Amino acid sequence: MSAVAARLAELGIELPSVVPPVAAYIPATVHGDLVYTSGQLPMVAGALPATGKVGGGVEASAAYGHARQCALNAIAAAAAAVGGVDRLTRVVKVTGFVASTPDFTGQPGVINGASELLGEVFGDAGRHARSAVGVPVLPLDSPVEVEVVFAWE
């Protein structure tokens, strides 16, 4: 068992199935030693656990949890693209989008859900560059969407 697989087991985390695309794209693509995930929504068993805007009908604390799920979905998509989670060696970049009301300014705290999960799973190799962006709406009215770039070997 690889370090990443062992850490997932230690944390009691089982990777979800790769979320099927909802439009004309693939969940992840490989270029050289990098794996780029498409934007991952917080899908659980094929459904969004919440819809709406953070700062409106969705609490920031709930959105934090949704960002964690987005990161898990990204790990699953990247692992499938390279033949297993054991081939992912580090997290390079996270881009998080938060559908939020105009007065909500806590996007970084929401996207910490994804960043902190990646740190728990990858340890020091989970430290990454990041953007957290507020947007008016996301696909399917999701409150959060996360893209991750991983290195692999």
- Give the tens place of pLDDT for each residue, 79-92: 999 999 999 999 99
**pLDDT value at residue 55:** 97
**pLDDT value at residue 102:** 97
Q: What is the pLDDT averaged over residues 11-26?
A: 94
Nearest to 115 by CA among 140, 96, 88: 96
- By three-state DSSP, how is residue 42 classified? coil
H-helix or E-strand spanning residue 139: none
Query: What is the pTM assigned to this prediction?
Result: 0.97
* Confidence grade of residue 2 (pLDDT, cut at 50, 70, 90): confident
**pLDDT value at residue 1:** 57
**pLDDT value at residue 3:** 87
Residue with tokens 């290195």: 151
- Give the tens place of pLDDT for each residue, 48-90: 999 999 999 999 999 999 999 999 999 999 999 999 999 999 9
Q: E strands, the chain, where? A: 28-31, 34-37, 88-99, 129-135, 144-152
- Give the tens place of pLDDT for each residue, 121-152: 999 999 999 999 999 999 999 999 999 999 99
pLDDT higher than threshold 90 for residue 106: yes
Going edge to edge, which strands form the sheet with 34-37?
Answer: 28-31, 34-37, 144-152, 88-99, 129-135
Compute the mean pLDDT over every residue in the chain, rounded to the nearest whole number. Answer: 97
In this structure, what are the phi and psi dihedrals at residue 23, rounded to the nearest 5 degrees? -155, -160
In DSSP terms, 146 is beta-bridged to 40, 96
Q: What is the pLDDT averaged over residues 8-19?
A: 96
Q: What is the pLDDT averaged over residues 99-105?
A: 98
